[in-house]
């Protein structure tokens, strides 16, 4: 299957945008802030919290990075104006880390000021391993000045237990996910069981350190393991949340989690960069093609 996936990911960029749109549509909440707001509202009405991401990454100029920052500030104000339960997720390379560290830090601080004013929160998404150190440094600097910020730690990285112990100071609000980028054996585990085990252990460590884990996965084995542990250890519902990507079918699991009184947050990407973004993701991780095809025939 991986050969087929690789071949498909090589030819998909040759498709015109209109032909590729049906593949991206279930996972992307439109192209504009207004469209995204409608999706967030609908999800809130169904009981879900939201984190929103403006699609894009690897901007090359300071102007572009500032433009992205202003779009996020507009988004924060739109969420506030509609009184929605939503915060934002940003990527360091989208806010200008490839331009310079100072550019990304200034843009992030500007966003955090706006998020503070609008009563919101900023999640710093984690990109591929060349950015891990700088993203953690960015988080630590931001956390000195702002409460409303949290990092992401990827369960597939060998370094992640050390990162969690370093960050776990009782005030940590961290998303734990498996990690989506293709990484070498030198930096990341490759087998799924080791990654599952490390994921569960990282979440437990966050709890033990008094932190707040955002458990971001569609893997039912991991969700069930953590649910059991939470029950055994009588962890209250306000100490964690589950997170999923918008549009990924979960065979009724999301409703079950909501019915248990757990917070479930959907990650909702939008923006006119959906085509390039989807293609880059597919090339990095052709496994996504299998998901897309599988999910086209599934219902939630």
Ligand X SMILES: Cc1cc2nc3c(=O)[nH]c(=O)nc-3n(C[C@H](O)[C@H](O)[C@H](O)COP(=O)(O)OP(=O)(O)OC[C@H]3O[C@@H](n4cnc5c(N)ncnc54)[C@H](O)[C@@H]3O)c2cc1C
Q: Which one, 154 or 168, has the nearer CB to ligand X? A: 154
* Alpha carbon distance 161, 153 (integer Å): 9
Among 150, 179, 271, 286, the residue binding ligand X under the rule CB under 6 A is 179
Instruction: Looking at residues 220 to 259 of the shown chain, list those that interact with ligand X (rule: CB under 6 A).
Output: 243-245, 248
Instruction: Looking at residues 195 to 224 of the shown chain, list those that interact with ligand X (rule: CB under 6 A).
Output: 216-219
Quote the tokens at residue 48. 């879900």
Q: Is 125 a catalytic residue?
A: yes
Tell me if 12 contacts ligand X by CB under 6 A.
Answer: no
- Sequence-ordered list of residues with C-beta below 8 angstroms from that of 104, at least 6 positions apart, any chain: 65, 92, 95, 96, 97, 138
Cβ 63 to ligand X, closest distance in Å? 25
* Alpha carbon distance 265, 213 (integer Å): 12
Tell me if 125 contacts ligand X by CB under 6 A.
Answer: yes
Tell me if 178 contacts ligand X by CB under 6 A.
Answer: yes
Tell me if 134 contacts ligand X by CB under 6 A.
Answer: no
Segment interacting with ligand X (CB under 6 A) among 2-10, 166-174, 177-185, 229-237:
177-185
Cβ 290 to ligand X, closest distance in Å? 8
For residue 127, give the nearest of 156, 152, 108 by alpha carbon. Answer: 152
Among 20, 69, 154, 168, the residue binding ligand X under the rule CB under 6 A is 154
Cβ 150 to ligand X, closest distance in Å? 11
Cβ 10 to ligand X, closest distance in Å? 19
Report in angstroms the alpha-carbon separations of 184 from 156, 190, 254, 271, 278. 10, 8, 33, 30, 22
Spatial contact of 176 and 203, defined as CB atoms under 8 Å apart: yes
Q: Which one, 77 or 250, has the nearer CB to ligand X? A: 250
Spatial contact of 257 and 216, defined as CB atoms under 8 Å apart: no
Exactly one of 123, 175, 265, 273 is catalytic; which is it?
175
DSSP string, 63-77: HHHHHHHHHHHHHHH
Exposure class string for 216-227: b at 16+ Cβ within 10 A, else e:
bbbeeebbebbb
Total residues belonging to the chain: 300
Q: Which one, 96 or 286, has the nearer CB to ligand X? A: 286
Cβ 105 to ligand X, closest distance in Å? 19
Tell me if 262 contacts ligand X by CB under 6 A.
Answer: no
Q: For residue 244, give the H/E element and its range.
A: strand 241-245
Q: Which one, 63 or 162, has the nearer CB to ligand X? A: 162
Spatial contact of 71 and 94, defined as CB atoms under 8 Å apart: no
Exactly one of 53, 125, 163, 273 is catalytic; which is it?
125
Binding residues for ligand X, rule: CB under 6 A, are 125-126, 152, 154, 177-181, 216-219, 243-245, 248, 267, 288, 291-292, 294-295
Catalytic residues: 125, 175
């Amino acid at each position: 299957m991986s050969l087929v996936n690789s071949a498909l990911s090589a030819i998909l960029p040759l498709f015109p945008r209109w032909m590729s749109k049906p593949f991206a549509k279930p996972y992307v909440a439109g192209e504009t802030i207004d469209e995204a707001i409608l999706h967030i509202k609908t999800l809130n009405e169904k009981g879900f919290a939201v984190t929103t991401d403006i699609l894009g990454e690897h901007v090359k100029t300071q102007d572009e990075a500032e433009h992205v920052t202003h779009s996020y500030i507009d988004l924060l104000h739109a969420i506030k104006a509609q009184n929605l339960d939503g915060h934002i997720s940003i990527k360091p390379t989208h806010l200008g880390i490839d331009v310079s560290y100072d550019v990304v830090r200034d843009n992030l601080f500007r966003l955090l000021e706006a998020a503070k004013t609008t009563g919101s929160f900023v999640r710093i998404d984690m990109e591929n391993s060349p950015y891990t150190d700088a993203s953690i440094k960015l988080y630590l600097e931001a956390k000195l000045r702002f409460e409303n910020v949290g990092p992401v730690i990827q369960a597939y990285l060998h370094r992640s237990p050390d990162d969690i112990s370093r960050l776990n100071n009782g005030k940590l609000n961290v998303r734990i996910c498996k990690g989506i980028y293709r990484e070498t054996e030198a930096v990341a585990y490759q087998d799924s069981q080791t990654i599952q085990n490390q994921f569960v252990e990282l979440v437990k460590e966050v709890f033990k350190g008094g932190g707040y884990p955002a458990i971001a996965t569609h893997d039912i084995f991991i969700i069930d393991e953590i649910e059991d542990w939470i029950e055994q250890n009588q962890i209250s519902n306000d100490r964690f949340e589950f997170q999923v990507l918008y549009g990924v079918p979960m065979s009724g699991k999301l409703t079950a989690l909501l019915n248990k009184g757990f917070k479930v947050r959907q990650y909702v990407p939008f923006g006119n960069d959906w085509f390039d973004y989807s293609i880059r993701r597919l090339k990095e991780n052709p496994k996504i093609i299998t998901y897309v095809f599988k999910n086209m025939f599934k219902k939630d």
